[in-house]
Amino acid sequence: MNEKKNYVLAIDVAKGKSMFYIQSIHGEVILDAIECKHTLSHFKMIDQIIGKEEIKKEIVVFMESTSTYHYPVMRYFLEQDYDVIVVNPNLVKKSSTTFRRTKTDRLDAIKIAETYFKEEIKSNAIKTGRLYDDLQAAHRQLISLEKALTAIKNRYTRLLDICVPEHELFYSDKSDKYSLKYITLFEHFPHSEFIQKTRVDHIASILNLTFNRSYKSRLIKEANKLKSISKDAYPGVSITSNEVDNLKQTIIILKEFMGHYELAKVRLIHLGKQTKEYTYISSIPGIGDQTASQLIAEIGEFSRFRSYKQINAYCGIEPSVYQSGKTFYNGKITKSGNPFARKVLYSVIMNIIQSSRSNYPEHPINIYYTSKKEKENKSTKESVIASSTKLIRILFSLCKYERTFTK
């Protein structure tokens, strides 16, 4: 972003209040720093001051990203059709050249204003609307639920190992452990003795609870199998132990969180499909509805970036550079960007590699990954990082020229 507006509303954001300061490009102070609370009446007061000065079309609202504190300020000025820019606090810190130790909220607001006029502001710092913010918020909620779900699943497995030690023999596939069918089974029979004492037809009925139709004949066979497996089981606790009640309680929580997680995933995909990038990104083999939405959630609006290199920097996967005299080399990736974006990219690359090997071996990402890993003898992590930069180039090109992927 090279073109600067003639005025800046610099905001030093704090919890529940902010310092507002307006300065022109020539250094003229239009509004000396004043403290306002994050209330509608105070926001309107600042808006009226700008209106009286008749500078709304020539002013930019400029602030630092400060956890969640800047959200009310950002929301108000976006809804009033101001140009809003939210930058990393490191930019303001780097821009400050004073040697004084004095620090006040007023001086901080002035520094923020000076930063706007002095520094080059990247286009990806400009806030353009709520859709991408809502999408990112939905993804972060999904991540939070996933972490909580993992912890609950670990607790669930530990209690199962104590109360129903033979449970690992029940599953025809490892993924069955967290299927609703078996979770419901253990909710009704949280100890091996319950299975041993229960009739086969009743066990079959419990197994059928999660299906919309009856599979009695098939489930009778499975119930017989489960009863046979449990016949000689010897749990680590008795049937009256508190751990049995703990398992039942944990299952209730697990089922609730699984429901919340599925709802969060549906909402993420719903928002993702509303973005202009979705059609182009989801056209790449190996990228489904969820992963496409996750990529857009963390990278945001692709048109904010002038080149794919800016996206690499934003994600923190560009190489660090060391130069001293005649010595010059690229080091490890900086990891200074969005850590959530890096995790999504890693997951997407691995999904593409796994699916393309059988369905689409000539996938450009698969070919690139294989060449890095086998021909250049790179580790899996190094190959994934290299493939991530390749994927970003493809994503950027598709979104820029509004094209879908063609084999």
Among 197, 198, 186, residue whose Cα is nearest residue 246: 186
- In CATH terms, the superfamily for domain 7-127 is Ribonuclease H-like superfamily/Ribonuclease H (3.30.420.10)
Whether the per-residue pLDDT at 277 is higher than 80: the answer is yes
- Lookup: tokens for 347: 């997951």
Question: Which pLDDT belongs to residue 101?
Answer: 55
Whether the per-residue pLDDT at 307 is higher than 80: the answer is yes
The mean per-residue pLDDT over the stretch 312-335 comes to 66
Which residues, 6 or more positions from 179, have their beta carbon under 8 angstroms from its beta carbon? none
Residues of each domain in the chain carrying CATH 1.10.287: 140-269
In whole angstroms, how far apart are CA 206 and each of 186, 195, 209, 212, 214? 10, 11, 5, 13, 11
Q: Is the separation of the CB atoms in 269 and 294 below 8 Å?
A: no
Q: What percent of the chain has pLDDT over 90?
A: 78
Whether the per-residue pLDDT at 95 is higher than 80: the answer is no
Q: What percent of the chain has pLDDT over 70?
A: 93
The mean per-residue pLDDT over the stretch 43-53 comes to 96
Question: Which pLDDT belongs to residue 130?
Answer: 81
Which residues, 6 or more positions from 135, have their beta carbon under 8 angstroms from its beta carbon? 268, 271, 272, 275, 293, 296, 297
Q: Band of the pLDDT at 334, cuts 50, 70, 90?
A: low
Which spans in 164-307 are helix H?
180-188, 192-197, 200-207, 216-230, 242-272, 278-281, 289-299
The mean per-residue pLDDT over the stretch 346-364 comes to 94
- Which CATH number applies to 140-269? 1.10.287
The mean per-residue pLDDT over the stretch 20-46 comes to 96
Q: Is the separation of the CB atoms in 351 and 287 below 8 Å?
A: yes
The mean per-residue pLDDT over the stretch 339-356 comes to 95
The mean per-residue pLDDT over the stretch 173-184 comes to 94
Any idea what the Cα angle at residue 285 is, between residues 283 and 289, rounded to 5°?
Answer: 60
Among 296, 331, 164, 167, residue whose Cα is nearest residue 241: 164
The amino acid sitting at 132 is: Y
Among 255, 254, 260, 315, residue whose Cα is nearest residue 142: 260
Dihedral sign from CA coordinates of 365, 370, 375, 381: positive
Q: Band of the pLDDT at 376, cuts 50, 70, 90?
A: confident
Q: Band of the pLDDT at 328, cuts 50, 70, 90?
A: very low
Which residues, 6 or more positions from 67, have their beta carbon under 8 angstroms from its beta carbon? none
The mean per-residue pLDDT over the stretch 94-109 comes to 71
Question: pLDDT averaged over the chain?
Answer: 91
Whether the per-residue pLDDT at 333 is higher than 80: the answer is no
Whether the per-residue pLDDT at 375 is higher than 60: the answer is yes
Q: Is the separation of the CB atoms in 237 and 163 below 8 Å?
A: yes
Q: At what angle do helices 242-272 and 131-163 cross, to 10 degrees?
A: 160
The mean per-residue pLDDT over the stretch 261-278 comes to 97
The mean per-residue pLDDT over the stretch 80-98 comes to 82
Residues of each domain in the chain carrying CATH 3.30.420.10: 7-127
Whether the per-residue pLDDT at 329 is higher than 60: the answer is no
